[in-house]
A and B are shown apart, each in its own frame.
Chain A
Amino acid sequence: MPVLDPQDPGQQGRAIISFDGVSKIFPSRKDSAEVKAVDNIDLVVPEGAIVGVIGKSGAGKSTLIRLINGLEQPTHGKVTVDGLDIGSLDEKALRQARRSIGMIFQHFNLLSSRTAFDNIALPLEIAGTPRKDIKGIVEPLLDMVGLADKRDRYPAELSGGQKQRVGIARALATKPKVLLSDEATSALDPETTAQIIALLKQINADLNLTILFITHEMSVVKKLAQRVAVMEGGQIIEQGTTYEIFSKPTHATTKRFVGEVTGGNVPEWLQSKLLADYAPGRQAVIRIAFTGADADEPVLSRLTRAYGVDFNIMHGQIEYVADHPFGTLIASVAAEPELQAKLIADLTATRNTVEHLGYVA
């Protein structure tokens, strides 16, 4: 399943993280049955890439990310990070390996008793870095995340975005090769989320640091990921470049996630008005997804001229995914069933994805 494609923007380098038939089964307890949190997963993260894993809560993504730094051990299969088989390491070697795998968290997990500076210094103290060298590492990191003036502030005095910046600087203190992000923007407002995403992209570009993040928000995937894996029920149900996933989602769950961002999901007011059958006077409702080169083609005007029909645009949105325009339009058209079939055939002949949703009176 994991195929390295040289044309793929997310696969610049060799695999730095790989999952090889990995399962994680939590044994049954008194009050709960056995749980297959991760079910036979194959996944390759190329060096220098930003890979997003999206799924609903309970899909197994938290367990997946914790298998990478050995906070969980696989029941079956092998997790390799930078050539090291994580499952084969003893406690001491595992602690050593974790220093090259940074991690940031949804709730930041900063020590309330330490200032920003001292929080960033913590992994260095743990790694046994000499006290005199710590300042020279922490201060450039504070600069990099834009918190030089907050160096002596305690977490309680910082905003959510600032706390996450401290978290990022702390994760980078030991110069890791990989950064794991566990829902790092889920507790932040949209504006702060955008800033943190920009910071992560900049770090990825400047340090060639591989980033693997998990999220339940497709908007974060859209802005941050080069490659995406969609998880459900412990399995990866679909993976590919972000553009592939957005333009041609195949699985229903993926379609729903993509629809959240692209406006492809039918709005509720329209959903309630949709009728299943045609009757004279009813208009057909179609959804057109514009992708790639077709996104700038004037499809509706062309059809209007060719068939002499009028489109009523009911819902639409244009997004940019991996720098490609990506649009969705829901429109109704007054047309007899034969004409409808012609219109849909014509639209489908272009590379747009067309779907007949129903009718409105």
Chain B
Amino acid sequence: MSPELINMILWSTLDTLTMVALAGIFGTLAGLPLGIFLATSRAGELFPAPNVNRLLGLVVNATRSTPFIILVVAIVPLTRLIAGTSIGTSAAVVPLTIAATPFIARVIEGAIREVDQGLVEAARAFGASPLQIVWKVLLPEAMPAVTLALTLATVSLIGYSAMVGAVGGGGLGDLGIRYGYQRFMPEVMATVVAVLICLVQGVQSLGDFISRRLDKRTRHS
């Protein structure tokens, strides 16, 4: 492989990492509160708002059931509005974030719903406010599961980020399609796939490690 190609692979990897990181951060910033709200707003829960809960649930489901590639195309005007362009790495962050947010919200909802309701009752009995229950009880107790959920979301984002290459986003997917597929350079395609596998593997291992460190439920003296 020529030095230019290697250089391109490195830059593309960096682009992919940037897209995934930015979409992951924005997606978490939006998805975490949304997930917490979804997990605590049914009737009789901490912030009861069953109608809003149902409405948000519908929106989340609608977004999640739209195929990503169609979502990318469908929101081009919005992408232009936010990123100033619909092509390239920074533009790709917009659809990635929009796809990641409901996904992250759902997995975080699941993680929080797993927390024993007895803990919520205990905290209420001590005089904790609903917000204190979220910060002091639900989130810390759900942290191992939340970490795994965010790991899952990051892995999905790596896959999605390769897809935005097809519609002019940057990164490894873009490289794979333009060089590996269109110019028929199998060594580029193989390298791209190998790098993606390493990224996913690395993210998953890191997530598992952090989650295990946070989980005090099974430790024995």
Residues of B within 8 A of A94 (CB): 127
Stretch in B49-57, B191-199, B202-210, B211-219 touching the partner? B211-219
Query: Are A113 and B219 interface neighbours, CB within 8 A?
Result: no
Contacting residue for B118 out of A91, A105, A127, CB 8 A? A105
Query: Is B221 interfacial (CB 8 A cutoff)?
Result: yes
State A153–B126 Cα separation when bound (angstroms): 22
Question: Do A123 and B126 form a contact, CB below 8 Å, given A153-B221, A154-B219, A157-B219?
Answer: yes
Contacting residue for B141 out of A95, A111, A127, CB 8 A? A111
Question: Do A109 and B143 form a contact, CB below 8 Å, given A95-B127, A126-B136?
Answer: no
Residues of B within 8 A of A127 (CB): 126-127
Query: Are A112 and B216 interface neighbours, CB within 8 A?
Result: yes
Query: Is A156 interfacial (CB 8 A cutoff)?
Result: yes
Query: Is B122 interfacial (CB 8 A cutoff)?
Result: yes
- Who on chain B is nearest to A157 by CB? B221
- Who on chain A is nearest to B117 by CB? A109
Query: Is A59 interfacial (CB 8 A cutoff)?
Result: no
Residues of A within 8 A of B219 (CB): 154, 156-157
Query: Is A174 interfacial (CB 8 A cutoff)?
Result: yes
Contacting residue for B127 out of A98, A114, A156, A170, CB 8 A? A98
State A156–B217 Cα separation when bound (angstroms): 5
Residues of B within 8 A of A123 (CB): 126-127
Interface, chain A (partner B; CB < 8 A): 69, 71, 91, 94-99, 101, 103, 105, 107, 109, 111-114, 122-123, 125-127, 153-157, 170, 174, 180
The B interface, classified by DSSP as helix, strand, loop or mixed, is helix
Query: Are B132 and A113 interface neighbours, CB within 8 A?
Result: no
Query: Are A154 and B216 interface neighbours, CB within 8 A?
Result: yes
State A91–B127 Cα separation when bound (angstroms): 9
CB of A219 to closest CB in B, whole Å? 25
CB-contacts of B119-175 with A (<8 A): 119, 121-129, 132, 136-137, 140-141, 143
Complex A-B, nearest 9 residue pairs according to Cβ-Cβ distance, in ascending order: A98-B127, A109-B122, A95-B127, A123-B126, A154-B216, A109-B118, A103-B125, A157-B221, A112-B217
CB of A3 to closest CB in B, whole Å? 30
Question: Do A71 and B216 form a contact, CB below 8 Å, given A122-B126, A126-B128?
Answer: no
Query: Is B183 interfacial (CB 8 A cutoff)?
Result: no
Residues of B within 8 A of A97 (CB): 127
Query: Are A103 and B122 interface neighbours, CB within 8 A?
Result: yes
Contacting residue for A71 out of B119, B125, B128, B221, CB 8 A? B125
Residues of A within 8 A of B136 (CB): 122, 125-126
Query: Is B116 interfacial (CB 8 A cutoff)?
Result: yes
- Who on chain A is nearest to B124 by CB? A71
B106-123: CB near A (< 8 Å → 1, else 0) gives: 000000000010110111
Contacting residue for B128 out of A69, A95, A112, CB 8 A? A95
A-B contact pairs, 22 of them (CB 8 A): A69-B125, A71-B121, A94-B127, A99-B127, A103-B122, A107-B118, A109-B122, A111-B119, A111-B141, A112-B216, A113-B140, A113-B141, A125-B136, A126-B126, A126-B132, A153-B221, A156-B216, A156-B217, A156-B218, A157-B219, A157-B221, A180-B125
Question: Do A95 and B129 form a contact, CB below 8 Å, given A112-B216, A126-B136?
Answer: yes
Residues of A within 8 A of B118 (CB): 105, 107, 109
Which of A107, A112, A125 has the most chain B CB within a 10 Å cutoff?
A: A112
State A125–B127 Cα separation when bound (angstroms): 11
Contacting residue for B143 out of A101, A113, A122, A170, CB 8 A? A113
